[in-house]
Amino acid sequence: MNINETGIIIFCENYDVVLKFYSEKLGLHVRKKGKHLSVLDFGGSYLMLEDNGVASIKEKTRAENPTVIRFNVNNFEEAVSELMQLGVSVDVKKHSWGTIGVIIDPEGNRIELKD
């Protein structure tokens, strides 16, 4: 198998809201935008947002969504500050193995920043 790129797909109930969050709040560049499907740059990969998903008003459980998107950042404090200035809630948690910032997207999917 010769893989040239990898991607993650998130199915969204409120597609336009989620697209706006990932592109405007998290700053992911939109490669391709469609009415029901968009592709965003995601490091050396892509993040696809597609409609027909299920939203939650609170963080989804691992049973509802066993996947976490993690962004490793060069300057953790700066990234947290930038997101908070954009109105994104970041819950900083310190562990013996490092520090993460937990973000919940508009549909209840967990995202983490890692120092």
Task: Please tell me the predicted confidence (pLDDT) of residue 43.
Answer: 87
Identify which of 103, 39, 31 has the alpha carbon closest to the alpha carbon of residue 73: 103
Would residue 23 count as lying in a domain?
A: yes
**Rounded CA separation 34/39 (Å):** 9
Do 104 and 111 touch, CB atoms closer than 8 A? yes
Would residue 2 count as lying in a domain?
A: no
Confidence (pTM):
0.93
Note down the domain range covering 13.
Answer: 7-114
Q: How many domains does the chain have?
A: 1
Would residue 1 count as lying in a domain?
A: no
**Rounded CA separation 20/75 (Å):** 24
Given phi > 0 = left and psi -120 to 50 = alpha, else beta, which region is 108? left
pLDDT tens figures, 63-113? 999 999 999 999 999 999 999 999 999 999 999 999 999 999 999 999 999
CATH of the domain at 59: 3.10.180.10
Which helix (H) or strand (E) covers residue 81, if one does? Answer: helix 76-85
